[in-house]
A = this chain, B = another copy of it.
Amino acid sequence: MKFEIMRDRLLDGLSDVMKAISQKVAIPILTGIKIEVNDTGITMTGSDSDITICTFIPAEEDGEQIIRIVEKGSIVLQARVFSEIVRKLPTNDVTIEVANGLQTKIQSGKSDFHLIGLDAEDYPVLPVVKDEYSFSLPSDLMKSIIRETVFAVSQQETRPVLTGVHWEANERGLSCVATDSHRLARRLTMPEEMPAVPFSVVIPGKSLQELNKILPENTEPVEIVIADQQVLFKTRNVLFYSRLLEGNYPDTSRLIPIEYKTTVIVNGRLLLQAIDRASLLAREERNNIVRFSADEGKVIEISSNSPEVGKVEELVEAIGVTGEDLKLSFSAKYMMDALKAIDGQDVSIQFAGAMRPFILKSVEDDSILQLILPVRTY
């Protein structure tokens, strides 16, 4: 195996693959990156068993030569050392060559590295994913969907299925739901191209977070292929595999109240900032609960009281308050997460009573729904 490559392009590819690398893996070879060279370019693969990322660098792109391939072949190199070396090489021209079995020479300017590689034959094979259930979404929409839901997954392993986001597709569109049983985030969308067959899968939250870091902020399509125990996200040069979570996802539709007693319309950004401040004292006592009250006066009051630290009162002018007067308490963190997902637009908050879940939506757009369970303090 021997090739010459532009360092910057190698680095770009490496930085994607590194997102799958963990130092805590059961199979030692997975601390390495597999590099495969053929006539069309090089493929690098990293994996922690749960997530596998393959990135392809073409030998030629838009008529420009990126890689000069001298000899085909493959090797596995220690991921952390290899990426550190590439990052610090002195020139943009890098030659990588496997000689004497597994000895790998990395050469750039007057720098000469010899790494001891591992046999690529010993690297686990990629999961086989059939292309049957596939559809596609624009990359930026995919990123929004992830950002609007993934924060609400459970951080606890007591019910593993809740650590994932439930993706369900049928003739009514794609629904993505995350809940940790104290709050819920739901995003509905109607992709232009839907899968031919309905599906229902649970994708680990961690996988979606890593995927979000790799996806570009543009409208290029991401192809999504659903298989039995795997999901594969394909962009032009990257394949991102994730295992799926087993188990039945709970039916969350019944959590969402049907009737509401109070509706508050308010600027999301102003409310977010007021809650952020109001929770400063609550955080000191580690409960992070703030009180919320609204009445026909259109002024929302957010308050918090920590006997040892002090108290705070924030007033926020609402755009509208309709229905019954309301007092309730909730986790400032959950409310801030929900408001961030709706992203600074005017929000409509609908309450079904002080001890019933309440929901937040953008006034402009029904596709994002955030639900929060209040806590009892009043």
- Residues of chain B within 8 A of A116, CB atoms compared: 308-310
- Residues of chain B within 8 A of A314, CB atoms compared: 110-112
Q: Is the CB of A312 within 8 A of B273?
A: no
Most chain B CB within a 10 A radius of its CB, from A89, A277, A310: A310
Q: Is the CB of A89 within 8 A of B277?
A: yes
Closest B residue to A308 by beta carbon equals B116
Per-residue B-contact encoding for A305-335, CB less than 8 Å = 1, 0 else: 0001111111110000000000000000000
A81: Cβ under 8 A from any B Cβ? yes
For chain A, the count of residues having a C-beta within 8 Å of the partner chain is: 32
Total identical chains: 2
A311 to B113, CA, bound (A): 6
A213: Cβ under 8 A from any B Cβ? no
A281 to B112, CA, bound (A): 12
Partner of A110, one of B89, B90, B309, B315: B315
A314 to B284, CA, bound (A): 53
A111 to B78, CA, bound (A): 54
Q: Is the CB of B310 within 8 A of A111?
A: no
Known A277-B89, A280-B88: A309·B78 in contact at CB below 8 Å: yes
Name the 4 nearest CB pairs between A and B, nearest first.
A115-B310, A110-B315, A112-B313, A113-B312
24 contacts between A and B (CB under 8 A): A78-B309, A81-B281, A81-B284, A81-B309, A85-B277, A88-B273, A88-B277, A88-B280, A89-B277, A90-B273, A90-B274, A90-B277, A110-B274, A110-B314, A111-B274, A111-B312, A111-B314, A112-B313, A112-B314, A113-B312, A114-B311, A114-B312, A115-B309, A116-B310
